[in-house]
């Protein structure tokens, strides 16, 4: 595999978080995205952050920040598309900004179990996590058509491209994600 880019998806609206920029919400004294950055960085060659506001704050991390090319927040696929267009190597591995305990070996697992698929994502404890995914840049072209047709379903799209899930060992807490202010108190 050539250069592997890690992409942190932080471009959502954070409606369940009262409209806050979820990646910047503090958890144990650090913005959520930074938890993800610290776990993703050792697993990839370079990290890019996909964000649509507070760009200067994300840039403080030293990472390049890529904004969506769509203005209407169509969902995570928009961030995936925008990042795939911007990466230098052939492959990107994605993580939401709201999963602060992602495993330190999930990228290795995705790479090893990819076979010849152009996209793979994490499944653990019978739950799919399609925003934790390894995707080839050539997927950007069909993704553009899919989004322009008004489609939004991430896993359906990845399956249609020949993608499949990769089983990771059961570790429920590793994939907890934070959606509401209550999640910040309860889970970590």
Ligand X SMILES: Nc1nc2c(ncn2[C@@H]2O[C@H](COP(=O)(O)OP(=O)(O)OP(=O)(O)O)[C@@H](O)[C@H]2O)c(=O)[nH]1
Provide the annotated binding site for GTP.
Answer: 9-11, 22, 50, 68, 98
DSSP, res 55: H
The least CB distance from residue 9 to ligand X, in Å, is 4
Of the candidate spans 14-22, 35-43, 101-109, 121-129, the one that interacts with ligand X by CB under 6 A turns out to be 14-22
Interaction between residue 34 and ligand X (CB under 6 A) = no
**Is position 78 an interface residue for ligand X (rule: CB under 6 A)?**
yes
Report if residue 98 touches ligand X, rule: CB under 6 A.
Answer: yes
When binding is defined by CB under 6 A, the residue of 40, 91, 131, 133 that contacts ligand X is 131
Residues 134-173 that bind ligand X (CB under 6 A): none
Residue 183, classed as helix, strand or coil, is helix
Q: How far apart are CA 80 and CA 68, in angstroms?
A: 9
Nearer to ligand X, 22 or 136 (CB): 22
Position among 79, 100, 118, 163 found at the interface with ligand X (CB under 6 A): 79
Closest to 178 measured CA to CA, from 8, 14, 34: 14
15 binds ligand X (CB under 6 A): yes
**Nearest distance from C-beta of residue 115 to ligand X, angstroms:** 26
Spatial neighbors of 104 by CB under 8 A, at least 6 apart, are 39, 42, 43
Residues within the interface to ligand X (CB under 6 A): 9-17, 22, 50, 68, 73-76, 78-79, 96-98, 131, 179
């Amino acid at each position: 595999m050539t250069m592997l880019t890690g992409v942190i998806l932080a471009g959502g609206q954070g409606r369940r978080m009262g409209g806050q920029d979820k990646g910047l919400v503090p958890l144990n004294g650090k913005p959520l995205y930074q938890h993800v950055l610290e776990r993703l960085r050792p697993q990839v060659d370079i990290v890019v952050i996909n964000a649509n506001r507070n760009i200067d704050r994300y840039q403080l991390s030293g990472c390049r920040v890529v904004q969506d090319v769509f203005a209407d927040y169509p969902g995570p696929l928009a961030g995936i598309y925008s990042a795939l267009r911007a990466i230098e190597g052939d492959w990107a591995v994605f993580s939401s900004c709201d999963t602060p305990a992602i495993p330190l070996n999930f990228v290795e697992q995705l790479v090893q179990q990819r076979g010849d698929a152009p996209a793979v994502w994490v499944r653990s404890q019978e739950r799919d996590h399609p925003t934790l995914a390894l995707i080839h840049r050539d997927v950007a072209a069909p993704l553009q058509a899919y989004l322009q047709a008004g489609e939004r379903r991430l896993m359906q799209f990845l399956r249609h491209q020949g993608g499949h899930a990769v089983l990771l060992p059961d570790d429920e807490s590793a994939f907890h994600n934070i959606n509401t202010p209550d999640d910040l108190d309860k889970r970590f």
